[in-house]
Amino acid sequence: MGITKNAIPVRLDRGEQIDVVIMVGSSLDDLMAQGKLIPGSKVVLANSPIACAVKQGAAKPDISTVAKFKAALLNAKTVAYSDSASGEYIKNELMDKLGITEQMAGKARQIPATPVGEIVAQGEAEIGCQQRSEPKAVKGIDIIGLIPQEVQLITTFSGAVVASSKVPRESQALLMFLSAPQNAQAIEETGLVPASNKH
């Protein structure tokens, strides 16, 4: 997503040889509508909930209820969130739902390109919130947990075959393999929820 040099739409526009893209479903649908992906090749792979993290060893605020989550954000000196689907939701909807848009204006910021977990690990933000699969791969942070279900946003990740792929059949087979039930555990280990898993 986005307009940074490594964003998928930008890479497709500059003609990189890509066979399969995996991204947020709505963005994938946009690329398909633009003719950049093969119609009918979309495969839903996983769902991604939002989690928050702090620097490794730092106190973990309780975010188990909406009221406690709101208090944790208000008590933090700095909060970071991504420029992806979760970050857009946090910026444009979540702060408003919690009624803290004005209070957070000076201390919450959206981070382009760099993983939010890295910003937290470097001490540049006290709390970072992003799709759980993203901070899970970053060293130097502790994941507090998922944000409360009442204000949670589940992002669906899907894959599709690029229209210019020279191996479209093999690319489609890869997507079907990734979505197969026998690979659900590998998906779960990344912090994502397999699409076949109803929980």
pLDDT in tens, 83-106: 888 999 999 999 999 999 999 998
Q: Residue 34 pLDDT > 80, yes or no?
A: yes
pLDDT value of residue 198: 46
Whichever domain contains 190, its CATH number is 3.40.190.10
Using the structure block, give the residue that is written with the tokens 């307009």.
3
pTM value is 0.77
Domain check: are 143 and 98 in the same one? Answer: yes
Q: pLDDT by residue (tens digit) across 52-84?
A: 999 999 999 999 999 999 999 999 999 999 988
Give residue for tokens 């803290």: 100
Q: In which domain, by residue range, is 184 found?
A: 8-47+156-194
pLDDT in tens, 13-24: 999 999 999 998
Please indicate, yes or no, if residue 1 is contained in any of the structural domains. Answer: no
The reply to whether 115 and 178 lie within a common domain is no
Report the C-alpha gap between 158 and 25 in whole angstroms. Answer: 5
Q: Residue 197 above 90 pLDDT?
A: no
- Domain match, 137 and 113 both: yes
Please indicate whether residue 4 or residue 176 has the higher confidence score (pLDDT): 176
Residues 40 and 54 in one domain: no
Number of domains in the chain: 2
- C-alpha neighbours within 13 Å on the C-beta side of residue 72: 23
